[in-house]
Amino acid sequence: MTRPRDPFASTLIHRLPAGLKLGVLAVAGTGVLYLDDWRLIALAMVVTLALYRFAGLSMRQAYLQLKPMQWILALLFVAQGFMLSWGMAAAIVLRVAALVLLAMLVTLTTRTDALIAAVERALGPLRRFGVNPAKVGLAFSLALRFIPVIGAQAQEIRDAQRARGLGANPIALALPLVLRTLRMASDVADAIEARSPYDDDELPPRFVEKAKSTQSRTTCKDNKAPLETSST
């Protein structure tokens, strides 16, 4: 997703508290989900685009938020049109586009640290039920951070395919992108676990097994070294 040049300008929408914007997003998103008439959803889309203008964002910046998923929306429209009706297909596509634009409007006009703090404050009452707001806030921040990273990786894979003459093959794009994302997620999880204040008896099993595997490989290399030296 693309951010504008000056993402935190001094408009009224920018100055609204992050918690209020998240609350309005939740209510508006729920309302859009309950709309069935595509004309009403189109009206909601017009209101959303008007909010972009009110926040000092151009229509091009709004379009750039939907550009990465334009082909998905097109395929969804065609599939739902043949399976259901074209009116229902228009309602579904407009609903998804409106929800994405609303969510991106919040992220484009709110600092990430303010969003994370608002999420942690909202989840504070759930501490008594075992919910850790700090961990949820960390997951939220990682999700926001991964969106542009995954988009950049997708563009890199697409450029490599184009250089090899593979064309627009969705499978050739999806497979390496999924593998890269899973590998990156595993590395991030290992880094977080390695920096967590665990005692030796409280280490997660996956982290313990990986540490043992690394230690065994190191031991094997150390045992091979004298043999290689003596043979030479």
pLDDT tens digits along 165-193:
766 666 777 788 888 888 887 887 777 76
Q: Which domain covers residue 17, as residue numbers?
A: 1-110
61 part of a folded domain: yes
pTM of the model: 0.67
Report how many domains make up the chain: 1
- The pLDDT value recorded for residue 97 is 93
Neighbouring CB atoms inside 10 A of 113's CB total: 11
103 part of a folded domain: yes
- The pLDDT value recorded for residue 210 is 58
Token pair listed for 199? 């005692």
- The pLDDT value recorded for residue 47 is 94
58 part of a folded domain: yes
152 part of a folded domain: no
Q: For 42-110, give the DSSP string.
A: HHHHHHHHHHHHHTT--HHHHHHHHGGGHHHHHHHHHHHHHHT-HHHHHHHHHHHHHHHHHHHHHHHSS
33 part of a folded domain: yes
102 part of a folded domain: yes
Per the CB < 8 A criterion, the answer to whether 80 and 88 are in contact is yes
DSSP 124: G
List the chain residues with pLDDT less than 70. 1-9, 166-170, 193-232
- The pLDDT value recorded for residue 229 is 47
b or e along 6-23 (b: 16 or more beta carbons within 10 Å of the residue's beta carbon)?
ebeeeeebbeeebbebbe
Contacts 24+ apart (CB under 8 A), 57-66: 57/4, 57/105, 57/108, 58/4, 61/2, 61/4, 61/108, 62/101, 64/1, 64/2, 65/1, 65/2, 65/100, 65/101, 65/104, 65/108, 66/97, 66/100, 66/101
- The pLDDT value recorded for residue 133 is 83
130 part of a folded domain: no
pLDDT tens digits along 19-51:
899 999 999 999 998 988 889 999 999 999 999
* Helix pair 86-108, 59-66: axis angle to 10 deg: 110
d(CA 137, CA 143): 10
- The pLDDT value recorded for residue 156 is 85
- The pLDDT value recorded for residue 4 is 47
95 part of a folded domain: yes
